[in-house]
Structures are given as C-alpha cells and as structure tokens.
Structure 1
Amino acid sequence: MEEQDVIQRATELVAENEGLALKPYLCPAGKLTIGYGRNIEDNGISAKEAAILLSADIESTLKQLGHLTFFKSLNVARKVVMVDMCFNLGYPRFALFKKMIAALDRQNYELAALEMMDSRWAQQVGQRAERLSKIMKTGQFG
C-alpha cells in the first residue's frame, strides 16, 4: 500500500507543480510539452495513450456529424465513412463538401461517392478515398 500512497501523492504534487496544459507548449527547456508536463518531443506517447486519444476524437467527430439531419438514417458502413473522412479533414473542411452532403441528404449514395472522388482531398489521400468512396456507394465494407 505504500507504493499506492507514493503514486497518489506524487500525482497530486506533480499535477500541482506542473499545471495542466491542454494544448502543446514549449517548456523552459524548449521541449514540446502537453498535459501535466509531458515531454512529447522526447517521450512521445504509448499505443495505449494513442488509442485513448483516438477514441475521444472519434466520439467528438460523431457528435459533430450528429448535427446533420440525415446522419442517423445512414447505415453503419456509411456512417463510418463519414467519421473517417471528417476525422481526416476536420469538420470545417469536411463541411465544404456541400455537394456530397446534399447527395447524402437525398440518399443518392452513388453521387455522394462521385463527389468524394471529385476533390483535392481524394487526390491527396489516394487509395483511402477510393476505398471510402466504394463503401459509400455500396453501403458495405470490403
């Protein structure tokens, strides 16, 4: 139990001394830092931490997409495509796909898939766009 006491008290003291920064900053030593003094420049993050961040980002993306009236009526595959695309672009750039969004609102999935491919994004991400477009068109994975 002594170890747990050390962990708890050290956590409290370090958190108090470091303070919480939710955005990256340069510490006095010039290292890119986030959270409670986490030197991400030298230490990076673990796979477990990356998974936690991804989960939070997916939840946030789902909330953003949930404001689109048609989103709830899409099947799982098409929702997943939208989440992946929105995650990749960020919601403000995703929202610029007005023709695709309008096609989805009309349940015209073939046109939505074509609109996805008719973009600079598709040129930039290549096979990712092709795969997502196919899923959007068919409504099926693989």
Structure 2
Amino acid sequence: MNREEVFNQLKEDEGVKYEIYNDHLGLATFGVGHLVIESDSEFGSPLGTSVSEERVWEAFEKDLDTSIDECEVLFGPKWHDFPGEVQEIVVNMMFNMGRPRLSKFKNFCAALEEGDWPKAAVEGRDSRWHKQVTNRAERLMVRLENVS
C-alpha cells in the first residue's frame, strides 16, 4: 500500500485544512479530518487557529496508522494478502467510517475475504454509506471492481 497515494486520496475525499474548524458534528478538527483530542497540543485552541503542514502530516500519519491497525483487527491475517489497491480502498473506507461501522458491512467484508472484488463492490454500493458519500463511494467501488 502506498501511504502517499492514500494521503492524496483522502485529501481529495476529506479535504485538508490548515486551521482548526468545526466538522459537520461541530467538533474541533484540522488537517485531513483529524478530530482534535485531549492529547493534541491544539486541544482547546480557538477555531481558526493555524496548523502547520508538518503538524497536519504528523496527525494524518497517526490517523492512517490507526486506520490500518483497525483493518488488521477487522480482517486478521487475510488483510496482508489483499492487493495494495484493495488495501488502499479499504483504508479509505475505514478512515471515513471507523471499525464499528465498517464491521457492519458483513457481506462486503465476506466478499473481500473471499477475494471477490466485484462482489465486494456490489455489496459496498448496497449501503447507506454509498448514499451518504456517493461520489467517494462510487469511485472506490469502481476501483475495487477493476482490481485484477
């Protein structure tokens, strides 16, 4: 899996902001959808506070590691057998939804574990997530269908 490629994809999907802003739930966020948590130096800073590119990348790297770790938990040893392209797609989804939501995609996950990428794409489309983030979801499912 190409981490820089995942970063570029997520920048497109999530956007990137070099300041603290409220996300759609009113929670303090910066960078590539990084939720400000108590252990962050930015915690308690006012909206509009500038965040450096270096700090955005640092937070993204940590969040990406978390998403990858969650994929490893969800799929176990099979995760390492997925082609890089499939890993990038699933990490993108994990970054967006988190493990509690992605783990509810039972048929999607089963198709992935079987290596049936086209079936997984069909299952990914059959979700509320696809309706909520249609452009992102469709782009990811098209990529998944085209994995050889």
Q: Which amino acid aligns with 2:52?
A: S
Asked if residue 50 in structure 1 is aligned to residue 56 in structure 2, the reply is: yes
SS in 2 for 1:41: coil
Higher relative contact order (CA 8 A, sep 6+): 2
Instruction: Specify which of 132, 136, 142 is matched with residue 140 of structure 2.
Output: 132
- Change beyond 3 A, Cα 1:107–1:45: same
SS in 2 for 1:66: helix
Name the CA distance, whole Å, in 1 between partners of 2:52 and 2:126: 37
Deviation for aligned residue 1:42: 4.0
Deviation for aligned residue 1:37: 6.0
Within 5 Å, which residues of 2 pair with 1:92-107?
92-107=100-115
CA deviation vs aligned residue, 1:69-101 (integer Å, no higher than 9, x gap): 321111111000000001000111111111100
- Change beyond 3 A, Cα 1:43–1:114: same
Name the CA distance, whole Å, in 2 between partners of 1:106 and 1:89: 22
Instruction: Specify which of 103, 108, 112 is matched with residue 116 of structure 2.
Output: 108
Higher helix proportion, which one? 1
Corresponding position of 1:82:
90
Deviation for aligned residue 1:36: 6.8
- Change beyond 3 A, Cα 1:36–1:126: closer
Which consecutive residues of structure 1, in runs of 5 or more, have no partner in the other structure? 1-21, 25-33
Within 5 Å, which residues of 2 pair with 1:2-17?
none
Size of the aligned set, in residue pairs, is 111
- Change beyond 3 A, Cα 1:40–1:73: farther
Select the structure of larger CA radius of gyration: 1
- Change beyond 3 A, Cα 1:109–1:123: same
* Contact 2:37/2:43 (<8 A) preserved: no
Corresponding position of 2:72:
66
TM-score in terms of structure 2 length: 0.67
- Change beyond 3 A, Cα 1:131–1:61: same
Aligned-residue CA RMSD (Å): 2.2
Q: Which of structure 1's runs of 4+ aligned residues deviate more than 6 A? A: none
